[in-house]
A and B are shown apart, each in its own frame.
Chain A
Amino acid sequence: MYDFEYHKPGSLADAVKLLSADPDSKPISGGQTLLPALKHRLNKPTSVIDLSGIAELKGVRREGDKLVIGALAKHVEVATSPEVKAAIPALAQMASTIGDTQVRNRGTIGGSVANNDPAADYPSAVLGLNATIVTDKRRIAADDFFQGMFTTALEPGELLVAIEFPVPEKAGYAKMRNPASRYVMAGAFVAKTGGGVRVAINGAGPGVFRQAEMEKALAANWSPDAVAGVKQSADGLNSDIHGSAEYRAHLVTVMAKRAVAAAG
């Protein structure tokens, strides 16, 4: 780990000010990605802005037909929150399967979504549920937010404040874990909402993406069988020592089927 300055602002405004003042600074919430990178000397920020003292970023609450989750909500909070369990049980279930106990006790939803690791869990829920990303400056639709591997619509110095999830009629999530890292090899988040059916695929490709054919099939017939016959193309999917693109493409269909079954 290289030396860096450490700041712990008490308000969102102070945090934004610190981040804007130093283009080589990094915000840190749970630190589940940044800390290992720092320890491996893969990242050399001049300063680290600890967001954990900012009240505006905290909390999980139901607001009408929306579930609003603050950026600093830890995975364990989402997994065990009565509000989340009641409104979107698939989201609580997803949170309960992220990483391991230690990760769930430290990692946050804001950190995961802002990092947009292709093998992370939450981006598929955000995209699949057509959530809105609330930042200190604006509101961003999920479809516009994720822009490929580790890339989002967030601008330098812009902070993710909360995520607003519309409460769906039904939703379900299934994933196959990478056998070594336990990140997602292929996952599918399916949701049936007033606005239609959405299917978001994570893990398999270089970024989370929607599966249009599956959405169409499910819109016509919401059942596991409806997606079981939809083949995902292997083109552009990830291929590594853990599995070929063909294997991941196959898993996408399997996981979509299981996600629909889980959604009921």
Chain B
Amino acid sequence: MNVVTPFEGIGASVRRKEDLRFLSGRGQYTDDINRPGQTYAAILRSPHAHARIVSIDTAAAAAMPGVVAVFTGADMPDLGGIPCGWQIHNKDGTPMAEPMHPVLAVGKARFVGDAIAAVIAETRSQAKDAAEAIEVEYEVLPAVATMEAALAPGASRVHDDVAGNVCYDWHIGDKAVNEAAFAKAPKVVEFELVNNRLVPNAMEPRAAIGDYDPTTEDYTLYTTSQNPHVIRLLMGAFVLHLPEHKLRVVAPDVGGGFGSKIFHYAEEAIVTWAAGRVKRPVKWTAERTESFMTDAHGRDHVTKARLAMDADGKFLALHVQTLANMGAYLSTFATSVPTYLYATLLAGVYTTPTVYAEVKAVFTNTVPVDAYRGAGRPEATFLLERLVDVAAAETGMDRIEIRRRNFIPNDAFPYQTPVALQYDSGDYTATLDQALKTADWAGFEARRAEAKARGRLRGIGISTYIEACGIAPSAVVGSLGARAGLYEVGTIRVHPTGSVTVLTGTHSHGQGHETTLAQLVTDRLGVPLSQVDIVHGDTAKIPFGMGTYGSRSLAVGGSAMVKAMDKIVAKARRIAAHLMEASVEDVEFDRGTFRVAGTDKTKSWGEIALTAYVPHNYPIEELEPGLDETAFYDPKNFTYPGGCHICEVEIEPETGITTVVNFTAVDDVGRVINPMIVEGQVQGGVAQGIGQALLESCVYDSEGQLVSASFMDYQMPRANDLPPVSVATHTTLCTHNPLGVKGCGEVGAIGSPPAVINAVVDALKDYGVRHIEMPATAAKVWGIINASRPAMAAE
């Protein structure tokens, strides 16, 4: 019998193995870890957005009770800067401006929250007390809090060596072809919009513990990271100059990342370096206010776009000009977000023959901006799907019809876009049709009329999107400026009794990998799920992996596991052939049983595993003992999930309050391993998308003070802000990875914001609204309604 009962393999909605640990409070997060002799770090942060540091006097602080040491940037002359992992080139071929990002500020503070000094003390309170006793003399400089201010002539420079505050001025696409297409286009739609800045707000604040063993000179960093190996490389090689064999990085249970825990942060370097100096462990845990002020923010684009169309609504050309806020320093992958994760997606699901995009990245006196759930792709999708709706409105075309006319047809795959990417598979008509049916698009006008009778404005919006994830091919990203490989590694360790431990280079911080990845093993090897454990997040245990972001864990990490399991099965078949005295070619393997084809001679998985480790009767001349294989997998292409999101809202005109009443998502995420987990991932992504569209707004004042620096002023979506989300999948398989999977972690956050805003604009269509910027707050919506009232009355 080869059947695992109950079925726990690919396609089973197995309950998450990790949840008992999380739900019973037994998760081990970084702040739960305490090392013998541990000290605590407090970071003194700049209260000014831009200031010259005239002097720092730490004498009083150093004399405070419990203080072990006080460090400033001047104590770290030999340390490197926090590196940026992706080099972008300007239009003229010169490299981007890449100013130094010191671990602790040197010379200037460049945003509110910039790290000025670190106090190490016996207790957290003593460290904070002493930090307050540090005397810093600042010469406050004019701050550039917005991109507009930073680009103004004569603007104050965030970095003295970066003229005009421009990090890079980059482009993609064929400008001449694009201009020629516009020159003869019968219709051009012009549009401007903002993609609002967001604070990631993972439930678990960042934390880091540095540990140092003076007898071995081994360093250990425990940190809230999505990719411990990347942190080890960046921090070890570029900042602290520690060789990998002397530096272990552990990312234990991590309570949410959404991208914000990909990056190497100064605090990680501070605690590791300081542990070596004070010869004791050093712990730092962010307070929520610190999280607001120092976690890399997301989005923050200002974009102008032009779309050329023919008389039938066929898109002829797209030209996009985007300003992207980098904040005060370049965070690890900041530079790639508005370029290769954004502009390359501007073809969307449409056959637009020419796309030309220009992106200017700008330094401002704000928190660094980097990848946040979707990273670049939500910005591209929001632009495109708003633009398509505007184009439909201005040409009198139906919103659905204009999309259908421009879809990449099913027979066009693999489809080469004009902006570098080659889509492998998709069926945009199918996801659209399924979503229209589920959402009862056809019946909407009756619901609108019913709402109107109740005094409500009801609107419906749609978004048909694509994204590129499963990042990605090392050779491709390398040619585009990435300073890292983007393969993944998996080790399948079969134990003598047949149970399995998997070591994966990906990292789970809420996604359920400990279940999904285990299902791959159950499906392939026939080992019950309870006999499979997934180990991740420790550079001392697992081979060099690249971590989790860009919906890559299954497509890249899962594929590496498949390759390693192929090796396991190949070896196990040889052992089985030996035991059954058959030729290898005749031995079949199906979920746990080896059989000589056409006979009743079988060997169980457990017998083979035991033989591999107790090789008494073993082909030792030709085969090594053991059953433990590692594989590295580097994909040939990105994966391309896509789909259709439909949102229905109701607006209360008296207050402007917008309520999402229906939300339908039909996504093509490739093969689905665990439908329940996919549904949860999509729902979570949609929650964040609705948050961006209606609620969340990171606000700086003109002095560079973060106004929305707490939950009192930054509105996270709450359960009662969210409708029941109908989630369904329509599968086309990825053509180039062995699982056919595409990825589901980001689709919700990518597809949903334009669907929501398109619904809000639709609800307000009688008020002459062309666009509403995110978040569409009650005050903003009421403002629109109120402003257009006199005009309505005059009609």
Q: CB within 8 Å of B: which residues of A?
A: 1-3, 40-41, 176, 179-181, 183, 241-244, 246-247, 250-251, 254
Contacts and interface: CB of A to CB of B under 8 A. Distances in A.
B289 A40 contact: yes
Chain A interface helix/strand/loop/mixed:
loop
B777 A41 contact: no
B128 A243 contact: no
A181 B777 contact: no
Interface in B281-311: 289
Given A1-B125, A179-B695, A241-B699, 4 more contacts: A41-B132, A241-B708, A247-B779, A250-B786
B654 interface: yes
Interface of B: 125, 128-129, 132, 289, 654-657, 695, 697, 699, 707-708, 711-715, 777-779, 782-783, 786
B707 A241 contact: yes
B697 A241 contact: yes
A180 B779 contact: no
A144 to B, nearest CB: 30
A59 B783 CA distance: 45
Contacts of B777: 179, 242-243
Contacts of B714: 180
A251 to B, nearest CB: 7
B713 A241 contact: yes
18 contacts: A3-B125, A40-B289, A176-B778, A179-B715, A179-B778, A180-B708, A180-B711, A180-B714, A181-B712, A181-B713, A241-B697, A243-B778, A244-B779, A246-B786, A247-B782, A250-B786, A251-B655, A254-B655
Contacts of A183: 712
A180 B786 contact: no
A176 to B, nearest CB: 6
Contacts of B125: 1, 3
A241 B710 CA distance: 13
A41 B707 CA distance: 18
A172 to B, nearest CB: 17
A246 B707 CA distance: 21
A181 B708 CA distance: 11
B655 A41 contact: no
Nearest to B721: A179
B655 A176 contact: yes
Residue of A3, A180, A246, A247 with most chain B CB atoms under a 10 A cut-off: A180
A41 B132 CA distance: 11
Which 6 A-B residue pairings sit nearest by Cβ, starting from the closest?
A: A180-B715, A243-B779, A181-B712, A179-B715, A247-B779, A241-B699
Contacts of B128: 41
Nearest to A180: B715
Contacts of A3: 125
A181 B718 CA distance: 12
Contacts of B289: 40
Contacts of A40: 289
Contacts of A246: 786
B198 to A, nearest CB: 14
A250 B711 contact: no
A246 B785 CA distance: 13
Contacts of B715: 179-180
A33 B471 CA distance: 47
A166 B654 CA distance: 33
A250 B695 CA distance: 21
Contacts of A1: 125
A168 B583 CA distance: 95
A103 to B, nearest CB: 13
Nearest to A39: B287
Contacts of B707: 241
A180 B713 contact: yes
A2 B125 CA distance: 8
A176 B782 CA distance: 13
A255 to B, nearest CB: 9
Contact of A181 (B132, B655, B711, B783): B711
B458 to A, nearest CB: 20
Contacts of A244: 779, 783
A254 B711 contact: no
A2 B130 CA distance: 12
A251 B783 CA distance: 12
A229 to B, nearest CB: 14
